[in-house]
Amino acid sequence: MMVKAKVFIYNKEFDGLPKEGDLIIKEEDLPPLKDGEYLAEAVYLSVDPYMRAYAPSIPLGSVYIGSQIAKILESKNSDYPVGRYVVGYFGWRSHTVHDGRTPEAPANFPAPFLIPDLGDVPLSYFLSILGMPGNTAYFGFLEICQPKKGETVVVSGAAGAVGNIVGQIAKIKGCKVIGIAGSEEKGKWLVDELGFDHFINYKTDDLDETLSQVAPKGVDCYFDNVGGETTATVIQHMNEYGRISLCGSVSSYNKKDRSVRIPLFLLVAKQIKAEGFLFYRWVDRSLEGVQQNLKWLQEGKLKYRETVTEGFGNTFKAFVEMLEGKNVGKAVVKV
Ligand SMILES: NC(=O)c1ccc[n+]([C@@H]2O[C@H](COP(=O)([O-])OP(=O)(O)OC[C@H]3O[C@@H](n4cnc5c(N)ncnc54)[C@H](OP(=O)(O)O)[C@@H]3O)[C@@H](O)[C@H]2O)c1
């Protein structure tokens, strides 16, 4: 089968928030399959903050980085049968010829994963709660923060793909949970539907003052998705032997200067552990994370929400809107 793929090419270096023209769509003729290869068609594309964070290391002229769920249309690889769906870091492309091995970029990202048939579980969940963001929340929070019942947990980026799961897992573990995010609509969802104890709008509330009110006994665990001033302020409220899971710093991704003044001496004085991580540290245990999140989902202990944009051509729009905070839950594109 002769197939033309549509691909997004990194055309112009991002300067601040990505702009129209920074990525351009091109058509590419795909070669016929060789032994060991399969052809897959994108069904859902993921748009994630790391795609902006990694931009300085992406060569201009290359297909933009990203993961997707794709349906296998043709195969000369018995491990990837026709009709099955695969999660792969193929980049922003409509069609892909792949050999099933680990992609080259970003370094160390997982090899394509064949999606099991789970009946009525939405396919797109394998890019979110049953995929990378789900495992980021599960391992990044439980392994690094080691939360204990009754402790106070703060989550920044709380209404996004990773943050809302962290907060819900913290509730499952019996913690008091405070979510920080950027709109009242998000806050309402976190408190009314997901059971967070408190919400703080970092755009309109005084974070320092509100934290004193809602966490009078201090903060034991902080799951940090945003970095910057938010993190500097939360650290002031942390208790002795607090734990900080450094997951991301989305507040800095659109900036050239990503440095922020963090009060490091407070970490010393309060004997706080702050540890950065990348989700693939636990790649060997990824099934454990997926299975546990699925179980909690089926038991109704985890709820989930996605913001879906329709159309391959709207992937760039979905990406920018996610960086602007227009998504609630995971931002995905339905092709
Ligand atoms: N370490 C890892 O392995 C790993 C894996 C996955 C994700 N991450 C990181 O986890 C974080 C969340 O990722 P996600 O996929 O769950 O994305 P997400 O939270 O679904 O989407 C990004 C969110 O960032 C918030 N944001 C944008 N600009 C901001 C700013 N200046 N200050 C504060 N918040 C801002 C927006 O929400 P608001 O309305 O609240 O502003 C937006 O919805 C990111 O930092 C990402 O890089 C790390």
Q: Which candidate, 56, 44, 50, places its Cα nearest to that of 86? A: 44
Angle, alpha carbons 332-333-335 (nearest 5°)? 150
Query: Given pLDDT bands bounded at 50, 70 and 90, which one contains residue 325?
Result: very high
Residue 253 Cα to ligand 1 midpoint, Å, equals 10
User: DSSP secondary-structure letter at 181?
Assistant: E
The pTM (predicted TM-score) of the whole model is: 0.97
Residue-level pLDDT at 106: 66
Inter-residue contact 42 to 335 (CB < 8 Å): yes
User: DSSP secondary-structure letter at 329?
Assistant: B
What is the arithmetic mean of pLDDT over 238-251?
98
pLDDT in tens, 127-157: 999 999 999 999 999 999 999 999 999 999 9
Q: Quick count: other Cβ atoms within 10 Å of Cβ 240?
A: 10
Q: Give burial (CB, 10 Å; 0-12/13-18/19+) of 326.
A: middle
Q: Which two tokens stand for residue 58?
A: 């992406």
Ligand 1 contact via 147 beta carbon (within 6 Å): no
Ligand 1 contact via 163 beta carbon (within 6 Å): yes
Round to whole Å and give the CA distance between 8 and 316.
9
Ligand 1 contact via 162 beta carbon (within 6 Å): yes
Closest ligand 1 atom to Cα of 162: 16
Ligand 1 contact via 247 beta carbon (within 6 Å): yes
User: Which domains does the chain show, CATH number per domain?
Assistant: 3-128+305-334 (3.90.180.10), 132-280 (3.40.50.720)
Round to whole Å and give the CA distance between 6 and 94.
5
What is the arithmetic mean of pLDDT over 100-112?
73
Residue-level pLDDT at 215: 98
Residue-level pLDDT at 48: 98
